[in-house]
């Protein structure tokens, strides 16, 4: 990364990665929520 | 020996005539199977759309079997053979080693695929893609699969022989290029995968012949998925190698760190066979602890590799575009990207569809607990249509727009249609996959002709939301079929009427 100046840093990609992680969290939550609804404990 | 080469006027790559012919025949055969599989896909979606329900039950299962084989096996592996020859002989500007062996590969795979197709169409192999024991097909069906797999192994051997002779004869120095390295990772996984296939299918063939009296279903399913799922990891590696190639061809980008990318490919080789066992998560043969370790821990090492690539590819596209002066804000580079180039738009659909839809859903559905409620539902086909179709198929489609001028020496026909094709196909498949996962969330089963169970004692009613979801699934599928047909027509028209590109010998 050292040869890139600041203008060339992939800052947009970093934001896309955070959007990806947010989607990951939401999708995981929804699936575990559904599982907990149909497969109750106790 | 005098080897016959020509030099591509655009890329400057030396192309060996045998490599060129073999890439052409494998790629054309792949596209023929894509056309067949696509036509069958249309019949599938028009049957799963409960209001239309076009096929009777026996034809639905028969043609679904053939759809799986034509798309998941024949289209993709024939195209991968073309990719292996391209990534070795063409990218290394070297001769294709042992062309007769490469022709044997092609003939074996063609004969094998033809045998399987005929057996399925004759109604002698209504066993679905998985052919789980105790379902039994005609022995010629299994022999066809075995011949196809042996052919694919020969293709991998030709690839390694070509890379080795290129090294020995000084065609390249130092490390392999990243694309060839990725193709090598795909070929290594292919050999491991096909070994599993041999262990699963040779005894099954003997069982179908009556030589072996019985088969253990649990052992079969374990070995089958070492073959069936791992073969998708060959696609995965080939797809990612193509991502790097398309990044270079479309925006002139170079990987930010080759070591980083090569490490991710190494992770695939080391860990990618392990997740195959997620197909056995609802089977009683493995212990709960084994399943949890497998899908809760080891599987993530392979997923890590995918996430490394999924970060690397957009990052190096962004850096390349920023270096061209598109530095405005966070996403100015994205706005100025070559969206009219079908190879670039295919690349973006492939990366986003694979990562956001296929990747996230795969990790979640592959978790043991979630798998309990998702395993036999439409969520799973929704997931793998995102990975294999939006991901792999769109990457293959994208690279075709460069292979046509380079290998077939013709300009792409109907360029306006070609610009639209990835958008129509990608949008259709995105709607299709998301809608499938949505209705699967309501428990709609996969591989099922009639979800209302009309002739059963107990009738099922999933409610209007599911009916609307299935209609949207079908609409997405029809749109994708149109995009797929456009791709096939553009490719065929290019071969037949595309303007010839002058070459130098």
Residue B217 sits in a domain whose CATH number is 1.20.210.10
Q: Which domain, by its residues, includes B437?
A: 18-497
Q: Is residue B310 included in any domain, yes or no?
A: yes
What average pLDDT does the structure give for chain A? 87
For residues B336-356, average pLDDT: 96
B253 falls within a domain: yes
Q: Is residue B406 part of a domain?
A: yes
**DSSP assignment, residue B504?**
B
- pLDDT digit string, tens, across residues B437-480: 999 999 999 988 888 877 788 877 888 999 999 999 999 999 99
Helix (H, G, I), strand (E, B) or coil at B16: strand
pLDDT for B233 equals 85
Any chain A CB within 8 A of the CB of B363?
Answer: yes
Q: Left, alpha or beta for B15 (phi > 0: left; psi -120 to 50: alpha)?
A: beta
Within 8 A of A4 by CB-CB distance, chain B residues are: 256, 319
B50 vs B146: CA distance, rounded Å: 36
Instruction: State the Cα–Cα distance between residues B35 and B488, nearest whole angstrom.
Output: 7
pLDDT interval class at B504 (50, 70, 90): low
* pLDDT above 90 (res B153): yes
**Which tens digit of pLDDT belongs to each residue from B181-235?**
999 999 999 998 888 988 999 999 999 999 999 999 999 998 999 888 888 888 8
Q: Can you tell me the distance from the alpha carbon of B473 to that of B477, in angstroms, rounded to the nearest whole number?
A: 6
Q: How far is CA B47 from each of CA B18, B127, B427, B447, B468, rounded to the nearest angstrom? A: 44, 19, 21, 11, 14
**What is the structure's pLDDT at A2?**
47
3-state secondary structure of B445: strand
Chain A residues with CB-CB distance to B358 below 8 A: none
B296 touching A (Cβ < 8 Å): no
The per-residue DSSP string of B245-296 comes to HHHHHHH----S-HHHHHHHHHHHHHHTTGGGGGGGTT-TTS-HHHHHHIII
**Residue B465 to residue B179: CA distance in whole angstroms:** 45
Residue B433 lies in a domain: yes
CA B130 to chain centre: 17
B8: left (phi over 0), alpha (psi -120 to 50) or beta: beta
> Rounded CA gap, B339 and B201, in Å?
45
Judge: A12–B363 Cβ closer than 8 Å, yes or no: no
Residues of chain A contacting residue B327, judged by C-beta atoms under 8 Å apart: 7-8
Enter the pTM of the model.
0.93
Residues pairing with B156 in the sheet: none
- Residues 332-361 of chain B with CB under 8 A from chain A are 333-334, 355-356, 360-361
Return the structure tokens found at B221. Answer: 């399913």
| Phi, psi (degrees; rounded to nearest 5) at B230 | -65, -30
Which residue of chain B is at minimal alpha-carbon distance from A18? B311
A3 CB neighbours in chain B (<8 A) are: none
Considering only CB atoms, A17 lies closest to which of B311, B319, B370, namely B311
B272-289 confidence digits (pLDDT tens): 777 788 888 888 888 888
In this prediction, residue A3 has a pLDDT band, given cuts at 50, 70 and 90, of low
pLDDT band at B145 (very low <50, low <70, confident <90, very high): very high
User: Would an 8 Å CB–CB cutoff place B311 in contact with chain A?
Assistant: yes
Minimal C-alpha gap between B313 and chain A (Å): 9
- Chain B CB contacts of A11 below 8 Å: 330
In-domain check, residue B76: yes
B431 part of a folded domain: yes
Does a structural domain hold residue B314? yes
The total number of structural domains that make up chain B: 1
Residue B493 forms contact with A (CB below 8 Å): no
Burial class from Cβ neighbours inside 10 Å (0-12, 13-18, 19+) for residue B349 reads buried
Q: What is the ipTM of this complex?
A: 0.89
State whether B316 and A23 contact (CB < 8 Å): no
Taking the CA atoms of residue B392, residue B398, residue B399 and residue B401 in that order, the dihedral angle to the nearest 10 degrees is: 150
Q: In chain A, which residue's Cα lies nearest the Cα of B361?
A: A27
Cα distance between residue B424 and residue B250, in whole Å: 20
**Which band of pLDDT confidence, cut at 50, 70 and 90, is reported for residue B347?**
very high
* A22 vs B contacts (CB less than 8 Å): none
Q: Which of A14, A18, A16 is nearest to B256 (CA)?
A: A14
The set of long-range contacts for B281-284, using a CB threshold of 8 Å and a minimum separation of 24, is B281/B366, B281/B368, B281/B371, B281/B372, B281/B375, B282/B371, B282/B372, B282/B375, B282/B376, B283/B218, B283/B221
* Residue B261: inside a domain: yes
- Please answer whether residues B204 and B167 qualify as being in contact, where contact means their C-beta atoms are separated by less than 8 angstroms: no
């Amino acid at each position: 990364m050292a040869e890139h100046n600041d203008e060339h840093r992939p800052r947009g990609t970093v934001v896309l990665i955070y959007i990806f992680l947010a989607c990951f969290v939401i999708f995981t939550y929804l699936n575990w929520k559904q599982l907990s609804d149909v497969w109750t404990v106790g | 020996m005098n080897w016959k080469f020509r030099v591509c006027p655009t890329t400057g790559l030396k192309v060996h005539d045998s490599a060129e012919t073999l890439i052409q025949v494998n790629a054309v055969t792949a596209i023929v199977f894509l056309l067949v599989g696509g036509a069958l896909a249309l019949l599938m979606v028009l049957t799963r759309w409960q209001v239309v329900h076009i096929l009777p039950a026996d034809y639905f299962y028969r043609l679904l079997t053939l759809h799986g084989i034509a798309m998941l096996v024949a289209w993709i592996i024939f195209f991968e053979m073309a990719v292996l020859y391209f990534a070795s002989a063409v990218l290394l500007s070297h001769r294709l080693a042992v062309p007769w062996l490469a022709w044997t590969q092609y003939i074996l795979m063609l004969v094998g695929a033809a045998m399987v197709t005929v057996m399925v169409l004759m109604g002698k192999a209504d066993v679905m893609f998985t052919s789980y024991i105790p379902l039994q097909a005609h022995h010629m069906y299994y022999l066809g699969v075995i011949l196809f797999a042996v052919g694919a192994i020969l293709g991998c051997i030709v690839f390694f022989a070509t890379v080795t002779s290129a090294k020995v004869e000084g065609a390249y120095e130092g490390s392999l290029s990243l694309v060839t390295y990725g193709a090598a990772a795909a070929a290594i996984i292919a050999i491991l995968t096909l070994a599993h296939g041999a262990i699963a299918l040779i005894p099954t063939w003997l069982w179908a012949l009556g030589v072996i009296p019985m088969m253990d279903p649990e052992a079969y399913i374990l070995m089958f998925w070492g073959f069936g799922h791992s073969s998708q990891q060959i696609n995965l590696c080939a797809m990612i190698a193509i991502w790097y190639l398309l990044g270079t061809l479309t925006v002139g980008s170079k990987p930010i760190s080759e070591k980083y990318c090569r490490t991710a490919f190494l992770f695939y080789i080391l860990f990618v066979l392990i997740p195959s066992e997620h197909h056995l998560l609802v089977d009683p043969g493995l212990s709960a602890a084994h399943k949890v370790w497998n899908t809760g821990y080891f599987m993530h090492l392979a997923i890590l590799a995918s996430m490394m690539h999924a970060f690397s590819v957009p990052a190096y596209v962004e850096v390349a575009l920023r270096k061209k002066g598109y530095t405005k804000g966070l996403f100015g580079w994205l706005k100025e990207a070559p969206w009219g180039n079908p190879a670039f738009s295919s690349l973006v659909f492939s990366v986003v569809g694979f990562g956001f839809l296929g990747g996230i859903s795969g990790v979640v559905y592959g978790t043991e607990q979630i798998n309990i409620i998702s395993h036999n539902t439409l969520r799973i086909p929704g997931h793998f249509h995102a990975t294999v179709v939006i991901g792999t198929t769109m990457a293959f489609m994208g690279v075709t727009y460069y292979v046509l001028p380079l290998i077939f020496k013709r300009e792409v026909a109907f360029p306006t249609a070609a610009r639209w094709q990835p958008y129509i196909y990608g949008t259709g498949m995105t709607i299709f996959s998301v809608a499938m996962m949505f209705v699967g969330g309501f428990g709609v089963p996969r591989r099922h002709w009639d979800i209302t169970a009309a002739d059963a004692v107990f009738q099922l009613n999933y409610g209007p939301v599911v009916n609307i979801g299935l209609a949207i699934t079908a609409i997405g599928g029809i749109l994708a079929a149109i995009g797929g047909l456009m791709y096939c027509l553009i490719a065929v028209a290019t071969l037949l009427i595309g303007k010839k590109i002058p070459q130098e010998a």
